[in-house]
Amino acid sequence: MMAAWIIQRAVRNGGWVDVFWTFGTGAACVAAAMWPEPAANGMRQLLVAGLSAVWALRLGGYVAYRVATSSEDTRYAGLRDEWGAKFQANMFWLVIVQAPATAILALSVFAAGHGGAAELGLRDALGAIVLLIAIAGEGLADEQMRRFKRQGLHGAIMDKGLWGWSRHPNYFFEWFGWLAYPVIAFDPAEPWSWATWIAPVVMFTILRFGTGVPALEKTMLQSRGELFRDYQKRVGAFFPFPPNDKPS
């Protein structure tokens, strides 16, 4: 994350922080899953490591392409305007704190890779399905937004498809994917398995109340005004619900 801060400072694009974090977190989670443990199930370690790698490659590749081919993400652009001359100093702490956050997430992956039943079974398959659904849902939300932006409807609000069910379906599916690890290995009778819930709880907190929804919606309110306020009234912030097309 120190390298992420240096790079974003050099190129003046805070979006590169997300690229470094995603690939770095993926690498840390793969290492945690494969950490040598005599009693561990080798096949489950490979499964959990594979899920972490697939997540990182999909999201990291998407974010890297977006950052390399677009202007700075509105969240960081908004912070750049808000913080002014203090931007880089504040950005340093915003970036560095993501390193211990990754370590905390890796605990869930470690617990999943080293826990569970003696043999691979239904829960392992369900965990893999949960992550695949999350990747597919997040990919669909990203593609729908990409197509909307290509229309060049400046000032308009994307409220179709998944974006009519949730104001941030990409964030929802990002969180949903971390549920794969408690699905695989959580057992109330096993104290260590409770650690599998750390990642979903941490990611929900960050996305819903930290650097995800609040930061993005602040910039959207500044740029879209009443249109976005009306969208907030019609569509929930995070968890998907059936569309309500009635104007407020």
Each residue of 117-168: pLDDT tens digit? 888 999 999 999 999 999 999 999 999 999 998 887 777 899 999 999 999 9
For 137, the domain range is: 2-234
In angstroms, what CA-CA distances link 64 with 69, 218, 220?
A: 9, 24, 22
For residue 192, tell me if it sits in a domain: yes
Which residue, 57, 54, 48, 49, is CA-closest to 19? 57
State which residues of the chain have pLDDT below 50. 247-248
For residue 247, tell me if it sits in a domain: no
Spatial separation of the C-alpha atoms in residues 105 and 128, rounded to whole Å? 17
For residue 56, tell me if it sits in a domain: yes
For residue 174, tell me if it sits in a domain: yes
Two structure tokens written together for 229: 């306020």
- pLDDT confidence of residue 28: 97
- pLDDT confidence of residue 246: 52
Which residue, 56, 46, 23, 57, is CA-closest to 113? 46
> Do the beta carbons of residue 145 and residue 215 sit within 8 Å?
no
- pLDDT confidence of residue 248: 41
> Do the beta carbons of residue 10 and residue 91 sit within 8 Å?
no
For residue 163, tell me if it sits in a domain: yes
For residue 66, tell me if it sits in a domain: yes
How many of the other CB atoms lie within 10 Å of CB of 199?
25
- Number of independent structural domains in the chain: 1
For residue 107, tell me if it sits in a domain: yes
- pLDDT confidence of residue 245: 60
For residue 103, tell me if it sits in a domain: yes
> Do the beta carbons of residue 184 and residue 124 sit within 8 Å?
yes
